[in-house]
Structure 1
Amino acid sequence: MDVSEVMEFILLKPAEYVIVASTFNPNETASFILTIYSKMEIFGYENSQEHKHEPHKKYEEVDVEQLQILLNENILKGDLKFGGFSIDACRSMVALMDTSITGRLNSEEFVRLWKKVVTYKDIFYQTDVSQTGKLSLSELRNAIRASGMKVGDDMLNLMALRYGASSGHMTLESFICLILLLECVNKIFQKLSDGNMMYLQKSEWLYISMYT
């Protein structure tokens, strides 16, 4: 787990800016991954002798394929021993966070998803006390609690059956998809219910079910 990972969301006036990555101690060398997302058109350049000031690709919206690449390259950092984030998992993440219903994530939706993924990744590794790269049922219960939610034993078993492997253990990819869905359906219920019950027309139920 990389404890030095940093994400910032800031508002800057139009100007030229220089971003300098550095290590904690002097005279050390290290590799950095720097990703910039902007609502407006920007042009980024690497100021080194090895590059000829060619602008880097910018992301105004992120689609499923781009999300898969970003997650596997930045969250897993090339460690794909468990297969990485699948295209189906990324499609589910986009659907859960796509409040504008475009099939893509705008900058605000993407930043919101990214922060959640980083948080849930940290929770996953903190609760994986067996250090197997998968969560057992008891570890899953602790991870859900650490995420600020609580479920009963019947629901926990159902989640393990739906999202777990044949052994019932849950990978990082499945855990993140599960927590995102659990958070989403809780918000939907809070928004559409009176606190105890929720009434939906058939068309409303189908709409929610098909794109969450």
Structure 2
Amino acid sequence: KIPMIRMRNPWGNDAEWNGPFSDNSAEWRYIPEHQKEELGLTFDADGEFWMPFQEFLNNFDRVEICNLSPDSLTEEQEDSGKRKWEMKMFEGEWTANVTAGGCRNFLETFWHNPQYVITLTDPDEDDDDGKCTVIVALMQKNRRSKRNRGMECLTIGFAIYHLTDRDMETRPQGLNFFKYRASVARSPHFINTREICARFKLPPGNYLIVPSTFDPNEEGEYIIRVFSETANVMDENDDSVGYCDVDDRIKPNIPPPREEDPQRENLRRLFKSIAGSDMEVDWMELKRILDHSLRDVMIDGNTFSKDACRSMVAMMDKDQSGNLGFDEFESLLTDIAKWKAVFKFYDRNHSGEIESFQLRDALNSAGYRLNNRVLNALGRRYTSREGKITFDDFLMCSVKTKTYIDIFRERQSDESNHATFSMDEWLERTAYS
């Protein structure tokens, strides 16, 4: 008897073994026809072939065992009592200077990575220790198709942390959580392969999974899948989009509104001197005011962009006249004072720039909650190549965030996080803003 192994080229093309017992090789002449039929032997150029086991040992030095996904069982296997895996899957991305925080070695940015919470309720049926089998598979997307552009696979991995009931109230977990908590499980290593997979035995409870690249600021897309023998619940551990309270550390730097205030009268005189007889300012007049009054936070004498000034006018201009009256102008300056206070708080070295990794915290301090998808979009739009955000760009970022939340809330009928617009309504509102 000759030990044999049946093989298949995973690419499914005609690249096959061409040694002993390859398709149409002379060795098959000595095998009876009925045995060939039992083997299901075919000589098609389909990537499937047989090899003597010794040849397999001579040509291969590593074997990877794959855990089959829930839909891999045939109806016959299911009917025979084989259990299917429970699976949850999410797609995500790492964006440089925003959500690509690198591994735990880079503590200051690690918490910016995407986070996922999984809840394991019931232990495995046959587990004497009362634990749950969990398989975590992290796969990076679209890297092989980019090899011709010199983009190889990223070095990826993941870490798993236990969450208490109190931890579950925080979305996402911040720097202090990772500073004082050790992981309970992790990928065997960080490696530049398409997919990394590991199997764990964990007690029932809540767990946080953090997928990451090894180094910060490496961009890529991924799929993360979690398999368990019993049912599991999985969700992104991320903020919901909307308003929140302004940071208490910022409030003292925001001037309170007062009816009788010498500063308010000075502001009214300034407004009258620039607005003229129509008692309204357009974006050009607003630009003159801001360039003068906020020059202390601009870098190298730069001035506000036309787009920023137009967007600020549109944010406050409810009748779409293209101009602001005094009350609208005053409300705008209150918002700008808040954004300026936030920016100066995070610009700790007084460089006129903040780190883009600070964008989530800065916007949160200004009263806006955003999730990773929105932050990735804002980061790409307003971050420099060096991972910095100037005050002008931070102002634009804040203006756009406030404007679009307000547009949405005008049409939000309940707390369902949905609103209805016709195509022309949506284009009208967003094109002007």
Normalising by the residue count of structure 2, what TM-score does the alignment of the two structures yield?
0.37
Amino acid at match of 2:327: E
Q: CA deviation at 1:114?
A: 0.6
Determine if the alignment matches structure 1 residue 211 to structure 2 residue 426: no
Q: CA deviation at 1:79?
A: 5.6
Q: CA deviation at 1:178?
A: 1.1
Larger % of strand: which? 2
Q: CA deviation at 1:85?
A: 0.8
Which deviations, in whole Å up to 9, do the C-alpha atoms of 1:74-115 show, x marking residues without a partner?
Answer: 122596515121222111111111112111111111001011
Contact 2:339 2:395 in 1 (8 A): yes
Matches of 1:71 and 1:193, distance apart in 2? 33
Q: What residue ranges of structure 2 are gaps of 5+ in the alignment?
A: 1-251
Determine if the alignment matches structure 1 residue 189 to structure 2 residue 412: no
Q: CA deviation at 1:6?
A: 5.8
Matches of 1:110 and 1:84, distance apart in 2? 19
Q: Which residue of 1 aligns with 2:39?
A: none
Report the 3-state secondary structure (helix = DSSP H, G, I; strand = E; otherwise coil) of the residue aligned with 2:388.
coil
Amino acid at match of 2:268: I
Q: Indicate how the Cα distance of structure 1 residues 128 and 77 shifts in structure 2: closer, same or farther if over 3 A, else same.
A: closer
Q: Which residue of 1 aligns with 2:323?
A: 104
Contact 1:67 1:90 in 2 (8 A): yes
Which deviations, in whole Å up to 9, do the C-alpha atoms of 1:176-203 show, x marking residues without a partner?
Answer: 1111221121122222023321121111
Matches of 1:69 and 1:38, distance apart in 2? 11
Q: Aligned runs of 1:11-90 on 2, under 5 Å?
A: 34-37=266-269, 59=276, 60-76=279-295, 81=300, 83-90=302-309
Q: Which residue of 2 aligns with 1:126?
A: 345
Matches of 1:159 and 1:143, distance apart in 2? 13
Q: CA deviation at 1:35?
A: 3.6
Q: Indicate how the Cα distance of structure 1 residues 35 and 175 shifts in structure 2: closer, same or farther if over 3 A, else same.
A: same
Report the 3-state secondary structure (helix = DSSP H, G, I; strand = E; otherwise coil) of the residue aligned with 1:62.
coil
Matches of 2:296 and 2:346, distance apart in 1? 20
Contact 2:312 2:399 in 1 (8 A): yes
Amino acid at match of 1:208: R
Determine if the alignment matches structure 1 residue 173 to structure 2 residue 405: no
Q: Which residue of 1 aligns with 2:259?
A: 10
Amino acid at match of 1:162: R
Contact 1:72 1:80 in 2 (8 A): no
Contact 1:62 1:104 in 2 (8 A): yes
Matches of 1:164 and 1:135, distance apart in 2? 10
Q: What residue ranges of structure 1 are gaps of 5+ in the alignment?
A: 13-18, 22-33, 43-55
Normalising by the residue count of structure 1, what TM-score does the alignment of the two structures yield?
0.71
Moved more, 90-99 or 77-86: 77-86
Contact 1:75 1:118 in 2 (8 A): no
Matches of 1:90 and 1:57, distance apart in 2? 15
Amino acid at match of 1:201: S
Report the 3-state secondary structure (helix = DSSP H, G, I; strand = E; otherwise coil) of the residue aligned with 1:167.
coil
Which deviations, in whole Å up to 9, do the C-alpha atoms of 1:126-145 show, x marking residues without a partner?
Answer: 01234332121222121111
Larger % of helix: which? 1
Q: CA deviation at 1:167?
A: 2.5
Contact 1:163 1:174 in 2 (8 A): yes
Contact 1:96 1:211 in 2 (8 A): no
Matches of 1:204 and 1:37, distance apart in 2? 37
Matches of 1:78 and 1:143, distance apart in 2? 16
